[in-house]
A and B are shown apart, each in its own frame.
Chain A
Amino acid sequence: AQRVTQPEKLLSVFKGAPVELKCNYSYSGSPELFWYVQYSRQRLQLLLRHISRESIKGFTADLNKGETSFHLKKPFAQEEDSAMYYCALSELETSGSRLTFGEGTQLTVNP
């Protein structure tokens, strides 16, 4: 069964510092990995997905199949990055399939 683990429930950094939110997964097939973000009092929204290989709001994430990781990184955190971040996995071969979410990491960027 697929599983997504986010080891840090809470992460606090200062503005301008680098930030890395960890995500590890276990899945025997070909996964598609996502990062979703939920700002205070807003709905979840897609931040980025590994197949797009793009940077959104300064965030990047690289899929490391050897380490089964998909860590989210930003070199200089901003206060507006404070939010709940969820890593999620779906099966690459099956479009529109179910997502498995990690437990979430609450990021706080202090001024």
Chain B
Amino acid sequence: NAGVTQTPKFQVLKTGQSMTLQCAQDMNHEYMSWYRQDPGMGLRLIHYSVGAGITDQGEVPNGYNVSRSTTEDFPLRLLSAAPSQTSVYFCASSSILANEQYFGPGTRLTVT
């Protein structure tokens, strides 16, 4: 039982490049979400999903896309990377009933 996994652990991008951060969970959780963690700002919600085929925007969605084709996977796409997207990205999942979120190990992204 791996819980929530994220790949890659580290990534360096140049401005304008695109990439996808992968997130998977094996707990059959309905709810999945992406956060970014920046010093002094806590965790801010980027996008979330309450089930396969359903996604919605969080607090800071601009510059990011998501899709949820399966219950297990919730990839986050950066369309055209900008230095302001340098951050640590966390994926989380939870059961709709339990409401306790389980976090992945994070992806540290640097955009130069």
- Residues in A lying within 8 Å of B, measured CB to CB: 4, 6, 9, 32, 42-46, 49, 86, 90, 95-104
Closest-by-CB residue of B relative to A41 is B105
Residues of the A chain whose Cβ atoms lie less than 8 Å from the Cβ of B58: 98
Q: Kindly identify, within residues 42 to 89 of chain B, every residue whose CB is under 8 Å from any CB belonging to chain A.
A: 42-45, 48, 50, 58
Q: Is the CB of A43 within 8 A of B99?
A: no
What are 29 A-B residue pairs whose CB atoms fall within 8 Å in the complex?
A: A9-B40, A42-B105, A43-B4, A43-B103, A43-B104, A43-B106, A44-B90, A44-B103, A45-B103, A46-B101, A49-B100, A90-B99, A95-B96, A95-B97, A95-B98, A96-B50, A96-B95, A96-B98, A96-B99, A97-B31, A98-B33, A99-B33, A99-B43, A99-B101, A101-B35, A101-B42, A101-B44, A103-B40, A103-B42
Chain A min CB distance to B9 (Å)? 11
Residues of the B chain whose Cβ atoms lie less than 8 Å from the Cβ of A103: 40-42
Chain A min CB distance to B106 (Å)? 7
Q: Is the CB of B94 within 8 A of A96?
A: yes
Residues of the B chain whose Cβ atoms lie less than 8 Å from the Cβ of A86: 42-43
Chain B min CB distance to A29 (Å)? 15
Closest-by-CB residue of B relative to A32 is B99
Residues of the A chain whose Cβ atoms lie less than 8 Å from the Cβ of B30: 96
